[in-house]
Structure 1
């Protein structure tokens, strides 16, 4: 099967990143996957799943908030797979604490992992795509908390609002090169991060129920719900959509 292009997904060892990587492989992309060193085994397993679908894949271990690592990983993807057509800046973490208990170092860590990493991926993927001269797709991870600030998610909310602003600014700059830049803004999605968030606020089961009741559909989302919107944004059909942060939240709110 002929590849329709090369995608690179950061934070891909589990949760949304894993689902996105597998969906893009199903769509016909060769997919490079990234996460940090402790997740290498999960990345290797994911790579095998991608190649089992008849697609090429490569594992890129590194810190998406490190300039040197991002430059090196993108260069490696291009060397291994020939080009870069889709960049999905998915890496992220969440710390659940009241603002008064959030330390400077925790703030810095969340902003680095969520916002700085997106900036670096947008910057160096954009540089590669411009040099190729064929346009491209850059897609980042915002959140419901990046559209409405959430108590006890001070740093996380700030970082996800930052991704929205970054996405809009990059869309303006990259548009003349045929590169679209968009973000996905999930609501409450059933992933490991949600489990950890539920545990942090006193119990996952009650938290899940409370979150589901806030939606119009009466349920929480699943990782394929997010992978599907990334699939569309990466497609040729989405060529006239840019600068958007698209809500996928079951009707928790409307914007």
Structure 2
């Protein structure tokens, strides 16, 4: 039997339907998104944006935020999408497992996980206590790990791909003074994201992180803002951390970028930690 030369095989013409079929991964049809830390700030903005994009939404935050969670659910439902609120402490693996289980039971699956929950504690390295370090690392890094892991288990079971996205920060690329635990935790998110992106490639699951710059949320507000700079929200944080006076953004700006990472055409982006920061850091 004659052997065909590899050069005799027909190569699909670039741009043809067969070429598109050749280069694209298996179909990914997004439908349900889970967002942690979604009672306010960037998490809330992401939840509302993904609802506009056509997702049904499961939002999670601490039980102490139940009233705010209920308000976000109502806003999503007014957009014509399904929504549930699941009180969740991301440092407890059992809570994250329950969050995934309830989302699957009530919304039918998990196609997108946004591991957004995070906390900030200011203070110098020498002032940092073991308790502060453990708390920040547990929420910002271990919590992300639990969300990544259990969302992926469900996505692999579904066999329809997915998007896993975590919250890092510009200080996860270039550390800032007075944020030792926070910077360490956000560097950790970048490492987790890269490793998991490599492992999830065979399953058509992309894993990325977003690195916001100075974003106007409750996290950056401080009672001493009025006494620094122009007195606007975040002025104290800018002063104490040495953050340059670059543009500030509303949470919906970050949500718009995250929205793109959730789309089918974003299949070519994985393992990346993308800065959305007004030029605060450049690469």
Specify the TM-score bucket, using the shorter chain as the normaliser.
over 0.9
- Number of the residue aligned with 1:121: 147
Whether 1:232 aligns to 2:260 is: yes
- If the length of structure 1 is used for normalisation, what is the TM-score? 0.93
- If the length of structure 2 is used for normalisation, what is the TM-score? 0.84
3-state secondary structure, aligned to 1:193:
coil
The answer on whether the counterparts of 1:167 and 1:182 sit within 8 Å (CA) in structure 2 is yes
- Number of the residue aligned with 1:89: 115
Give, in whole Å, the separation in 2 of the partners of 1:15 and 1:35: 12
Whether 1:48 aligns to 2:48 is: no
- Number of the residue aligned with 2:130: 104
Q: Which ranges of structure 1 fall in alignment gaps of 5 or more residues?
A: none
Give, in whole Å, the separation in 2 of the partners of 1:177 and 1:252: 34
- Number of the residue aligned with 1:8: 34
Q: CA deviation at 1:63?
A: 0.3
- Number of the residue aligned with 1:64: 90
Give, in whole Å, the separation in 2 of the partners of 1:111 and 1:35: 17
Give the stretch that moved more between structures: 199-208 or 153-162: 199-208
Q: Which runs of structure 1 show a deviation greater than 6 angstroms over 4 or more consecutive aligned residues?
A: 208-212
* TM-superposition CA deviations, 1:72-93 (whole Å, max 9, x none): 1100100010010000000000
Give 1 or 2 for the bigger CA radius of gyration.
2
Give, in whole Å, the separation in 2 of the partners of 1:194 and 1:98: 17
The answer on whether the counterparts of 1:144 and 1:249 sit within 8 Å (CA) in structure 2 is yes
- Number of the residue aligned with 2:15: none
Q: CA deviation at 1:213?
A: 5.2
Match of 2:156 among 130, 133, 148: 130
- Number of the residue aligned with 1:246: 274
3-state secondary structure, aligned to 2:221:
helix
- Number of the residue aligned with 1:181: 207
Give aligned pairs, total: 249
Higher share in helix: 1
Give, in whole Å, the separation in 1 of the partners of 2:219 and 2:71: 20
Distance 1:178 1:212, change over 3 A: same
